[in-house]
A and B are shown apart, each in its own frame.
Chain A
Amino acid sequence: MPSILVKIWRFYADGFRNMTVGRTLWLIIIVKLIVIFVVLKLLFFPDMLTGSTDAERGAQVLDMLTERNDNSL
Chain B
Amino acid sequence: MNDFLQTVDWSRAQFALTAVYHWLFVPLTLGLSVMIAIMETRYYRTGDEELKRMTKFWMRIFGINFAIGVATGIILEFEFGTNWSNYSHFVGDIFGAPLAIEGIMAFFMESTFIAVMFFGWDRVSRRFHLAATWLTAIGANLSALWILVANAWMQYPTGCTFNLDTVRNEMTSFGDVLLSPVAVDKFTHTVTSSFALAAVVVVAISAWYLLHGRERLLAKRSIALASVFGLIFSLAAALTGDRSGAVVARYQPMKLAAMEGLYDGERGAGLTVIGLLRCEESRSSNSDAFHFKIEIPKMLSVMSYRDSEAYVAGINDLLAGNPDEGIMSAGEKMRRGREAVAELERFRQARDAGDERTMEEIRRKFDPSTEEGESFLREYFAYFGYGYITSPEELVPDVPLLFYSFRVMVGVGTLMIVLFAIVWWLNRRDRLERRRWLLWIAIMAVPLAYMASQAGWIIAEVGRQPWAIQGMMPVSVAATDIGSASVATTFFIFLALFTLLLAAELRIMFKQIKIGPDKGDDKE
Contacts and interface: CB of A to CB of B under 8 A. Distances in A.
Given A44-B490, A45-B486, A48-B480, A65 B86 contact: yes
Give the interface size class of chain B: 35 or more
Interface in B481-519: 481-482, 486-487, 489-490, 493, 497, 501, 504, 508, 512
B388 A44 contact: no
Given A61-B167, A65-B344, A73-B4, A22 B524 contact: yes
Interface in A23-73: 24-26, 28-29, 32-33, 35-37, 40-41, 44-46, 48-49, 54-55, 57-59, 61-66, 68-69, 71-73
Contacts of B56: none
A61 B89 CA distance: 7
Contacts of B89: 49, 57-58, 61
A18 B60 CA distance: 14
A64 B168 CA distance: 13
Contacts of A20: 521, 523-524
A13 B397 CA distance: 52
Residue among A24, A29, A62 with the highest chain B CB neighbour number at 10 A: A62
B388 A69 contact: yes
Contacts, number: 136
A43 B70 CA distance: 24
B119 A48 contact: no
Contacts of B486: 44-45
Contact of B388 (A49, A63, A68): A68
A12 interface: yes
Measured as residues with beta carbon below 8 angstroms from the partner, the interface class of chain A is: 35 or more
A59 B167 CA distance: 7
A49 B85 contact: yes
B481 A64 contact: yes
A9 B179 CA distance: 40
A36 B388 CA distance: 32
Contacts of B489: 44
Contact of A62 (B115, B120, B167): B167
A37 B64 CA distance: 22
A25 B64 contact: yes
Contact of A15 (B118, B345, B348, B387): B118
A28 B67 contact: yes
B486 to A, nearest CB: 4
A71 to B, nearest CB: 5
Given A26-B67, A36-B78, A58 B167 contact: yes
Contact of B523 (A15, A36, A64): A15
A3 B487 CA distance: 51
Contacts of A6: none
Most buried by A among B67, B344, B347, B481: B67
User: Which of A49, A59, A68, A72 has the most CB atoms of chain B within a 10 A radius of its CB?
Assistant: A68
B390 interface: yes
A26 B503 CA distance: 16
B123 interface: yes
B90 A61 contact: yes
Nearest to A13: B119
Contacts of B523: 15, 18-20, 22
B75 interface: yes
Contact of A64 (B78, B86, B347, B482): B86
A21 B490 CA distance: 29
B30 interface: no
Contact of B347 (A57, A61, A62): A62
29 contacts: A14-B123, A18-B119, A18-B523, A19-B523, A19-B524, A21-B63, A21-B512, A21-B520, A22-B524, A25-B68, A28-B67, A28-B68, A28-B504, A29-B68, A32-B497, A40-B490, A44-B490, A45-B490, A58-B89, A62-B348, A64-B481, A65-B477, A66-B341, A66-B345, A66-B348, A68-B477, A69-B338, A72-B2, A73-B476
Given A69-B344, A73-B4, 5 more contacts: A11-B119, A26-B67, A44-B487, A64-B477, A69-B342
Interface of B: 2, 4-5, 60, 63-64, 67-68, 70-71, 74-75, 78, 82-83, 85-86, 89-90, 115, 118-120, 123, 165-168, 338, 341-342, 344-345, 347-348, 351, 387-388, 390, 476-477, 480-482, 486-487, 489-490, 493, 497, 501, 504, 508, 512, 520-521, 523-524
Listed from nearest, the 9 A-B pairs whose CB atoms lie closest are: A15-B119, A58-B167, A25-B67, A45-B82, A20-B521, A58-B166, A44-B486, A18-B523, A22-B524
